[in-house]
Amino acid sequence: AQKITQTQPGMFVQEKEAVTLDCTYDTSDQSYGLFWYKQPSSGEMIFLIYQGSYDEQNATEGRYSLNFQKARKSANLVISASQLGDSAMYFCAMRSVGGGADGLTFGKGTHLIIQP
Amino acid sequence: EPEVTQTPSHQVTQMGQEVILRCVPISNHLYFYWYRQILGQKVEFLVSFYNNEISEKSEIFDDQFSVERPDGSNFTLKIRSTKLEDSAMYFCASSEARGTYEQYFGPGTRLTVT
């Protein structure tokens, strides 16, 4: 079974600062993918970034980067130069690659609030 | 940009009634999913669907749930006899393929069972 742990239920960050959202995972799969989604107050789920377990480079997508430490089983999301519009719930998720479970397993989320 | 759409955005139903939640996945996607999110909780996987059959389902997806792709565009989730605890946001998602491909989520249907 897969498990995602997000230990920060809420975070307050000043605008323009960088923020790191923590995510640790547990799986017995050799090949897996890690995802981050953003959920604004309007409720939709917005895909942000993906990291494969065999990717040697950390994923980056604009202001988002994923700090992937495989030995520590962590996949932290880093948002550089935070903006007011970044205020939202952030969910870390994972699923198997190349067989095994296809559904995403989500963490409980981190509620990020950017303050002016 | 193509997107997943869901209807209705909000559905209110009485306990014991049947509901059908509808989704139109992105047109070239082959894998379809339903998730639910009880208010204030994490998103939970319900079922995945490929090639006109269920490929995986969670323990939540019991006999009261069913999914169907009735035509070339729609993907539906039916709850046969709703219970109070079925109240949640239901998200449809679609993906080009399995594994490394991201799943694109629809805006969700908020189901309220009274």
Instruction: Mark out chain A residues that contact chain B at CB-CB < 8 A.
Output: 31, 33, 35, 37, 42-47, 50, 52, 91, 93, 95-98, 101-109
Out of A31, A46, A102, name the one closest to residue B55 (CB): A102
Question: What pLDDT is recorded for position A100?
Answer: 60
| B45·A104 Cβ contact <8 A | yes
* B100: pLDDT strictly greater than 90: no
Sign of the dihedral defined by the CA atoms of residues B84, A45, B30, A99, in that order: negative
| Residues with Cβ within 8 Å of residue A62, at least 6 apart in sequence | none
| pLDDT at residue B1, rounded to an integer | 76
Predicted pLDDT of residue A99: 65
Mean pLDDT in consecutive groups of 10 residues from the start of chain A, 116 residues: 94 97 94 94 92 92 96 97 97 83 90 96
pLDDT of residue B102: 85
Write down the pLDDT at residue A101: 64
User: What residues form DSSP beta bridges with B83?
Assistant: none
Contact A33 B45 (CB under 8 A): no
Q: What would the mean pLDDT of B17-28 be, rounded to a whole number?
A: 96
Residue B70 C-alpha, separation from nearest chain A C-alpha, in angstroms: 22
Q: CB–CB of A108 and B42 under 8 A?
A: yes
Residues sharing a CB contact under 8 Å with residue A114, sequence separation 6 or more, in sequence order? A13, A14, A15, A82, A83, A84, A85, A86, A87
Would strands B88-95 and A110-115 be described as parallel, antiparallel, or unpaired? unpaired
Smallest CA–CA distance, residue B33 to chain A, in Å, is 8
**Amino acid (1-letter code) at residue B58:** S
Q: What is the pLDDT of residues B62-88, one digit of tens each?
A: 999 999 998 878 999 999 999 999 999
Q: What is the mean pLDDT of chain B?
A: 93
Judged by CB atoms closer than 8 Å, whether chains meet at A44 and B105 is answered as yes
- Chain B: nearest CA to A115, how far in angstroms? 22
pLDDT computed for residue B11 by the predictor: 97
